[in-house]
Chain A
């Protein structure tokens, strides 16, 4: 079974600054996906960024980038030029690479507050 751990329950950052959210995971799988999802207050969860484990290059998506360390089983999210709209719960999630489809295993989340 997989586990995902987010060690920072809450974080805050000033608008326009950079913040890094941490995530570690445990798995015996060699091929898998990792995701960061954002859940704004009272709104639905949306995908922020995705990383395939077989790719060495870290994924980037505009102001969002990851630091994927496969050997250390670490997957952190960096948000650059933070905006007020980035205020949300952020969840790290793991999914086995299975052509039949598979469930997401989520961490406990990090509540991020962007301050003006």
Chain B
């Protein structure tokens, strides 16, 4: 399967702990996006990379959140000092530069903070 993959699929953590999620985009895609989706809502944009450069960040991305894409391939999203309000599905998507810029989504990582 050459689609977008995310790991882990589920994560349960205690409040105050740090967590890290990984996203592997479709191999030829140079753009990678992170979104957050709370229950019953549409996804909200968090941040975006073109190759290894982080080009845009949402105001939702507080200083407890950091994202990297060190070699322009996979990306990691880290949340420090997790809070209960961080409980959500974290979605990764990737796209190519040209054409319609259609974004292909991964299955998501569901985070539960207890």
Contacts and interface: CB of A to CB of B under 8 A. Distances in A.
Interface of A: 4, 33, 35, 37, 43-47, 50, 52, 91, 93, 95, 100-109
A48 to B, nearest CB: 11
Interface size class of B (residues with CB under 8 A): 20 to 34
Nearest to A95: B101
28 contacts: A4-B42, A33-B101, A43-B107, A44-B105, A44-B106, A45-B43, A46-B105, A47-B103, A50-B100, A50-B102, A52-B100, A91-B43, A100-B55, A101-B48, A101-B50, A101-B55, A103-B45, A103-B48, A103-B58, A104-B33, A104-B35, A104-B45, A104-B93, A104-B103, A105-B45, A106-B44, A108-B42, A109-B42
Contacts of A50: 100, 102
Interface in B38-61: 40-45, 48, 50, 55-56, 58
Contacts of B41: 108-109
A101 B95 contact: yes
A96 to B, nearest CB: 10
B60 to A, nearest CB: 11
B25 interface: no
Interface of B: 31, 33, 35, 40-45, 48, 50, 55-56, 58, 91, 93, 95, 97, 100-108
A46 B93 CA distance: 11
Contacts of A35: 102
A47 B44 CA distance: 17
Residue among A37, A93, A102, A109 having the largest count of chain B Cβ atoms under 10 Å: A102
B90 to A, nearest CB: 13
B23 to A, nearest CB: 12
A52 B56 CA distance: 23
